[in-house]
Every structure is written in C-alpha cells, then in structure tokens.
C-alpha cells in the first residue's frame, strides 16, 4: 500500500505544479500515474476477493478506500467480478463482468443493425478508449447488472457514489474545475485503457476457452481461458502481477503479491498456459468472434471470407 498510494499522490501533486510548465509534461506524468492507479486498483481487486488481508473487515475498509482513487465502486464491482470468476468462459453468462463475445452462429443470425452495433463495440477505439470511459462513468454508477440476491450490493452502490461525488466536487472546488479535470481526467482515462487492455488480452486470446454451461469446466476455464501475460519485471510490479491471470483464476484467494511466488513454486502451472508477450498480444485486437467449430477466436475478415466460400459452394 505504501509503494502504491505514496507515489500516486506524489505524482498527482507534481502533475498539479507541472501545469505551469507544460501540459505535455502533465500528460507524461499522467501516463506513469495511471500505472500506479492500476496498482491501487489491484489492491481493491484483491480486497474484493477477500485475499489482500486476513481480516474481512479490513479487506472491505481498504477496498472501499481504494475505490475513491480508482473511481470504481468497491462492493458493486467486486460482486460483478466474483460472478465473472465463477462463470468465466460460460457463453450464457458472458455479459456480466466480462467482455461481450458473439459466437459465429450468433453473429450469422444478427440483423444488419445488430452486426453494425457489435462491430462498433469491438472496434479498438471503442473497446480501449471510449469503452473504459463509459464503463467508469456510467456502467459502474448505475446498477445495470441485477441478479437474485444482489439487493444489498445495489444498495451499497448509493453511498459509494455519494461519497465519491462529494470528494470529487470538493477537489474541483478547491483546485478549480478546469485544473481538476486537466489532472484527473487523463489519469482516469489512461487507467481505464490499461485495465481493459489487460483484461482483454487475458481472456480474448486466440485459443481461449468458451463453452455453454452444460459443457463448462472450471479448471479448463482458468488455465485455458486465461493467459500468462509475460511482461518486463517493472510492468509486472506496476500491474500487481495480474499477468499471472491463469493462477489468479485458478484460485482467487491468492493475493497479487504471492502470484509470482506461486508460479515459481508450482512450475506445472506454467506448463499448459498460453503465454503471451506484448508484441504478440497486439494480435488479440483482431479477435472478434468465437468459432465453436474450431474452438478459437477469429477475425471479422475470416468470418466474411468463409461466408463467401459457403455461398460460392
């Protein structure tokens, strides 16, 4: 916590003074600070899994505190995310706590407008820039996800939103609206982009795992349905080792600071996982549809090429 919050606050203050020098310097500092915000969010994430600390009470206190930095409500998001863990890769439940994926057959049955909407949703500029903004400002402010037994979770969203609104309005009043937006907006947007990108790479790789619930297997969903995102050590540190995502899905009770150790002490966990480096991960942007027949993600181009071949035959 010390190595996450202190640098974040320090860089935020430095960003404030850099406004008198050059906004390009401010944006450069914002990019670095976005990674520290990711690190703070990983603490919140682990608290939501009740794994960061031994005490449930303190996990909730720390997680709730982190939410005022990340702008993502603690209890509501944690409930959505835990649902994702229990149903990771299930095609029936893909829209709660996960990125929507259409199967080839579903996309084939779409109307022209539905296809347009889905293609727009899967565009990189929407998925990694506009999407994170919408996710933080709208999706996590309003209880779109409503399942049985979630009443208290939805109620908890109200005080979280109110306290966050008071905090942000207070900062904007103290610093001035313009300065506050020039400082907070780029950090939040960059944080959202980084977070969504990591989540995307970890579950949208070519040979991921997607099954209907009747055929679904928890072990396969963890090992095959997640990646080991192999990055330089500094980025593993900045992102709370979330690159070891297969281990995290295998057991969400392992805190981020023990994931690397777990991988080292249990080499079998690294044997069957899909390992992805940064350059290789860029190819994931072309993965748009789940092909049940081939059990792999395909691009729109591949889909339409096959459609033309079928029509010609």
pLDDT at position 311: 83
Residue 204 pLDDT > 70: yes
**From the CB of residue 218, how many other CB atoms can be counted at a distance below 10 Å?**
15
As a whole number, the mean pLDDT across the chain is 92
Question: Domains of the chain: which residue ranges?
Answer: 2-312
CB-based contact 201:229 (threshold 8 Å): yes
Cα atoms found within 13 Å of the Cα of residue 38, Cβ hemisphere only: 26
**What is the Cα–Cα distance from 98 to 200, expressed in whole angstroms?**
9
**What is the Cα–Cα distance from 245 to 230, expressed in whole angstroms?**
10
CB-based contact 187:30 (threshold 8 Å): yes
CA-angle at 131, arms to 206 and 122, nearest 5°:
35
Average pLDDT over residues 11-31: 95
Q: Which of 9, 44, 28 is nearest to 195 (CA)?
A: 44
244-276: per-residue pLDDT in tens? 999 999 999 999 999 999 999 999 998 889 999
24-76: per-residue pLDDT in tens? 999 999 999 999 999 999 999 999 999 999 999 999 999 999 999 999 999 88
**Interaxial angle between packed helices 177-203 and 151-175, expressed in degrees from 0 to 180 and rounded to the nearest 10:** 140
> Is residue 45 packed enough to be buried (19+ CB in 10 Å), middle (13-18) or exposed (0-12)?
buried
Cα atoms found within 13 Å of the Cα of residue 232, Cβ hemisphere only: 3
Residue 146 pLDDT > 70: no
pTM (whole model) above 0.95? no
Residue 309 pLDDT > 70: yes
Residue 95 pLDDT > 80: no
Q: Which of 85, 97, 103 is nearest to 140 (CA)?
A: 97
């Amino acid at each position: 916590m010390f190595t996450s919050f202190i640098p974040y606050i320090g860089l935020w203050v430095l960003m404030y003074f850099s406004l008198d020098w050059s906004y390009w310097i401010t944006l450069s500092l914002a990019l670095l600070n976005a990674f520290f915000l990711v690190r703070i969010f990983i603490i919140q994430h682990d608290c939501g899994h009740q794994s960061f600390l031994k005490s449930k009470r303190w996990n909730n206190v720390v997680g709730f505190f982190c939410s005022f930095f990340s702008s993502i409500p603690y209890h509501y998001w944690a409930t959505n995310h835990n649902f994702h863990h229990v149903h990771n890769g299930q095609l029936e439940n893909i829209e709660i706590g996960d990125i929507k994926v259409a199967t080839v057959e579903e996309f084939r049955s779409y109307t022209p407008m539905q296809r347009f909407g889905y293609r727009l949703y899967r565009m990189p500029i929407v998925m990694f820039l506009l999407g994170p903004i919408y996710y933080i400002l709208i999706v996590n402010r309003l209880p779109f996800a409503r399942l049985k037994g979630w009443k208290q979770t939805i109620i908890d969203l109200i005080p979280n939103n109110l306290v966050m609104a008071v905090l942000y309005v207070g900062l904007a009043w103290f610093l001035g609206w313009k300065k506050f937006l020039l400082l907070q907006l780029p950090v939040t947007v960059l944080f959202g982009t980084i977070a969504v990108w990591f989540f995307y790479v970890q579950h949208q790789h070519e040979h991921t795992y997607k099954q209907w619930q009747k055929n679904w297997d928890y072990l396969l969903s963890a090992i095959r349905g997640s990646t080991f995102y192999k990055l330089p050590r500094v980025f593993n540190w900045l992102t709370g080792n979330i690159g070891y995502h297969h281990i995290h899905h295998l057991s969400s009770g392992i805190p981020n600071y023990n994931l690397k150790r777990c991988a080292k002490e249990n080499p079998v966990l690294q044997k069957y996982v899909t390992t992805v480096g940064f350059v290789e991960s860029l190819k994931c942007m072309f993965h748009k549809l789940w092909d049940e027949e081939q059990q792999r993600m395909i691009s729109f181009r591949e889909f339409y090429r096959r459609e033309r071949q079928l029509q010609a035959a």
